[in-house]
Amino acid sequence: MLTLESFEEASEVVKKVTTATELVYSDYFSARTGNRVYFKPENMQVTGAYKIRGAYYKISTLTEEERSKGLITASAGNHAQGVAYAAKEFGCKAVIVMPTTTPLMKVNRTKSYGAEVVLAGDVYDEACAKAYELAEEYGYTFIHPFDDLAVATGQGTIAMEIVKELPLVDYILVPIGGGGLATGVSTLAKLLNPKIQVIGVEPAGANCLQESIKAGKVVSLPAVNTIADGTAVKTPGSNIFPFIQQNLDDIITVEDDELVVSFLDMVENHKMIVENSGLLTVAALKHLPSKNKKVVSILSGGNMDVITMASVVQHGLIQRDRIFTVSVLLPDKPGELVQVAGIIAKEQGNVIKLDHNQFVAVNRNAAVELKITMEAFGTDHKNQIVKALEKNGYRPKIIRPNL
């Protein structure tokens, strides 16, 4: 495995189940970063993520006896759907162990492909331990989501497609959970062109691979904390670790807040739904020190449930000052509320919520609190509205919106 011949074979095999995800050039991110930015939209695959590649190729390498025993894996969702879909294509049973925190949409999608779902543990590592127990008990064939060379070979077919479409690519940004995608992409990229820089991107709250590379060996994080549930892994793969050490050029970590605003950017500028783990490479674009380079960000998946999506949008609007709240004190007498509303309207602010508290002070004539939540076009517009209130004798105080 992980030879040019195996990657070429895998590239032909996965074509049976994958959608052609041609590169998407981004005017928006190119202008913001000074590079030529392209996206590899693996969120458009039939299962909503790149994981179908590794799962299908791995299962294709199994013997009929191994497949007849039934397959089992552990996954936070995307590998689960990949294995479930691939198992259905090969006509074999699939059991998927998923963390109890997995979004309902991913659970239901996995079941829709005919797989049996078992919920166990709070994070991937705990679900994986349960999957190994069931494999031992029932004799299932285990399909590891990342620490498997055949799986990594299947994932690496992404690099083959990128280089064929953009032969002079300078940087490939790849999300990292356990490291399977990074292993396949970085290894094949270096085989095709050693000058290609492959940069891994991890959540700051789940940077297991970064810590392992620093230590020179696989280490486990005591805990993980990130909204990027698909990459919330405590321990990277030990079988694939030597390949990552050899072929990955660097690792960037990003904060959850950066993922939130990246979601808004992708929806507004590319009309794409990309899950938090897939947004890692989008958020990392601004951290690249290079200019005038051809950069490909791999969007690893788009399986985000609606509730999570709503929360991310709301927090993103707040971070971008598109929604903000001010608190003002005013006398409790007729006409005061109309006057404040008039000032905001004149500055084109759109009020979406009012909270009028008459009991903020004992003397209501002296002070009644009015909390105003409104929409703005961004930070400059927000500041314009605040200054208008100040100019008219109010002392607006910016507070955290409570929507």
Return the active site residues: 51, 300
Q: State the angle between helix axes of 180-192 and 149-165 in degrees (0 to 180), rounded to the nearest 10.
A: 50
CB atoms under 10 Å from CB of 175, counted, come to: 29
Q: How many Å is the Cα radius of gyration of the chain?
A: 25
DSSP 50-80: THHHHHHHHHHTS-HHHHHT-EEEE-SSHHH
Q: Is 230 exposed, middle or buried (0-12, 13-18, 19+ CB in 10 A)?
A: buried
What is the three-class DSSP state of 267? helix
Helix and strand numbers (H, E) in the chain are 16, 14
- 271 burial (CB, 10 Å; 0-12 / 13-18 / 19+) is exposed
Q: Where are the alpha helices (DSSP H) in 91-168?
A: 104-112, 124-138, 149-165
Q: Which of 179, 71, 75 is nearest to 127 (CA)?
A: 75
Residue 227 sits at φ, ψ, to 5 deg, of -80, -10
Instruction: Provide the 8-state DSSP code for 301.
Output: B
Contact 187, 163 (CB under 8 A): no
Locate 5 and state its tokens: 């011949």
94/148 Cα distance (integer angstroms):
18
Cα separation of 56 and 399, whole Å?
A: 51
**Residue position matching structure tokens 């396949």:** 184
CA gap 90, 55 in Å, rounded = 11
Cα angle for residues 177, 237, 1 (degrees, 5° grid): 110
What would the two tokens of residue 180 be?
């399977």
- Token pair of 103, please? 């979004």
SS3 339: helix
